[in-house]
Amino acid sequence: MSIIFCSCKTEEPQVNTINAYIQNVSINGISVSSGGTVYNIPVDSIVFTIDFSEAIDKSKINPQHLYLNNGIDTSFMILNDTSSNKLIFRIKNRLEHLTRYTLYIAEGENLGVNLIDSYQFSFITQLDSTPKFSEISDDSLLTLVQKQTFRYFWDYGHPVSGLARERTGSGETVTIGGSGFGVMATLVGIERGFITRQQGFERLSTIVNFLNTKADRFHGVFSHWLNGTTGKVQPFSEKDNGADLVETAFLMEGLLTVQQYFKNGNREEKNMCDTIQKIWENVEWNWFQQNGQQKLYWHWSPNYGWAMNMPITGWNEALIIYILAAASPTHSIEKTVYDNGWARNGAIRNGKTFYDILLPLGEDRGGPLFFTHYSFLGLDPRILSDAYANYWTQNTAHAQINYRYCVANPKKNFGYSRDCWGLTASDAPNGYTASSPNNDNGTIAPTAALSSFPYTPEESMQALHFFYYILGDKIWGEYGFMDAFNLNKQWFSNSYLAIDEGPIIGMIENYRTGLLWNLFMQNEDVQRGLEKLEFDVNRIF
């Protein structure tokens, strides 16, 4: 026989009772401590079990002391059990998907005993697994993702300079590195038919002319942020109000790829390519050795000089900086700067195994995934190796370790699985952070798995299906996938960031056709730089 009781509040008569305490609470067989949280609970068939230290009277329920929050009708049904110390009950009504609920068991008189301590815990219901959009072919889905994401750079590009805004809502602030990714995305847009060649050229010409005539530069190097109308520096921080060599390298990676695409075009296109060459040759890479040191430095300020004093050393996203610095026809670095600065005389190596995968370079478990994206929008890791690593092996290992970490899910984050993975730099519930297996707060960024398509095609496609079909009602919008989400906290970003959107377009295209890799690697200056640094390039061009 079952007894039904409702969470409406009634007064119980005062009686003399014995003291008792709760020994254990479980939900659907999962034990949970007071103050804890349990994830992925079904929206129906939810059964609670409470073990008491003393015998209880199941007919004496005090709904004021045993209830769920959230303002829902949570009528409970007590289930039969022969134990006098155990209360088992289930929720009668269906709950909402991906919603946090808290069960409160208050101290005081209830169930014929006097509970000497309160007990409460939260649970979050499972995702709605119903597909949010009609199924299409995987090839069509990849095109849709590229097309929708491209709109960030095309529709939301700055109306004066054409450069990429830092993020949605950033107004006049444009980003130099993100614009490098954006100009590469424009080439994809042309090749995919999202825009015409002439439309793409006109936008790119606007960008190139703005950079050449209006944008602030310091020894040929651009700042992290600019005002998209005036070209003046927008300080990234108090002392970061001048040159940013890393952001400039990402920009030049893009511009040299654009130059290669248009170099045999009409007169106007060739003129734009000449301007790109001028911008390229004006970058004083070797000046950023800071008075001849055997390493490159990230920042220089006209007000603070080298005060930030941040050397660019590997392994991280910055391999492209040293290759471009070596490739410069006017301000080149020597190989010793690469070996001593970037490779740290071999200390860049890792050589350990994680999740049964050997990691050649970098920090344990690989770090955030953007390390495998930013430099490699142009650099082709399929054909690249040097004294320190084969870069296809390196990047594939890094991506696979990131994937396997999420599947193993040692921190028990809600949602992590073969379908939901990818840790990189992104927005997070408490602000921007570089998520990785060593810095994991439960935040997944779609750019991590999607930009890894060349390295993990099957795993990335699984993630794409999950992001689009299962989470699409929460993270798919005007410019494709929003920046990040955290299912532990039921948090979904409402922002788009240029440096996260750009790699999605470019790396998916490299996976599909190798377009950007083929263009960038054909640049003769880049080839000379790679040779200077003694890279072994198995040329496919």
pLDDT tens sequence for the chain (541 residues)? 343 444 444 455 455 679 999 999 999 999 999 999 999 999 998 999 999 999 998 888 888 888 888 655 557 888 888 789 999 999 888 899 999 999 999 999 989 899 999 999 999 999 999 999 999 999 999 999 999 999 999 999 999 999 999 999 999 999 999 999 999 999 999 999 999 999 999 999 999 999 999 999 999 999 999 999 999 999 999 999 999 999 999 999 999 999 999 999 999 999 999 999 999 999 999 999 999 999 999 999 999 999 999 999 999 999 999 999 999 999 999 999 999 999 999 999 999 999 999 999 999 999 999 999 999 999 999 999 999 999 999 999 999 999 999 999 999 999 999 999 999 999 999 999 999 999 999 999 999 999 999 999 999 999 999 999 999 999 999 999 999 999 999 999 999 999 999 999 999 999 999 999 999 999 999 999 999 999 998 754 4
| CB 447, CB 181: distance < 8 Å | no
- DSSP state for residue 449 in the 8-state scheme: H
Q: How far is CA 113 from the centre of its chain?
A: 51
Q: Which helix (H) or strand (E) holds 351?
A: strand 349-354
The residue type found at 502 is G
- C-alpha 399/C-alpha 147 separation (Å) is 24
Number of H helices, E strands in the chain: 14, 27
Confidence (pLDDT) at 157: 98
What's the first-to-final CA gap in the chain, in angstroms?
78
Nearest one of 202, 226, 224 to 214, comparing CA atoms: 226
Flag whether the pTM goes above 0.75: yes
Nearest one of 490, 369, 362 to 425, comparing CA atoms: 369
- C-alpha 447/C-alpha 439 separation (Å) is 17
Q: Which helix (H) or strand (E) holds 90?
A: strand 86-91
**What CATH topology corresponds to 3-125?**
Immunoglobulin-like (2.60.40)
- C-alpha 247/C-alpha 253 separation (Å) is 10
Tokens for 501, please give them.
């959107």
Q: What CATH number belongs to 138-537?
A: 1.50.10.140
Length of the chain: 541
371: CB partners within 8 A, 6+ apart: 315, 316, 317, 362, 398
- C-alpha 100/C-alpha 41 separation (Å) is 10
The residue type found at 81 is D
Confidence (pLDDT) at 4: 41
- C-alpha 243/C-alpha 256 separation (Å) is 20
Query: Taking the domains of the chain in order of start, what are their residue ranges?
Result: 3-125, 138-537
Confidence (pLDDT) at 91: 87
Helices 245-262 and 319-327 cross at an angle (nearest 10°) of 60
Tell the burial category of 46 from Cβ atoms under 10 Å away from its Cβ (0-12, 13-18, 19+): buried
Cα-trace Rg, the chain? 28
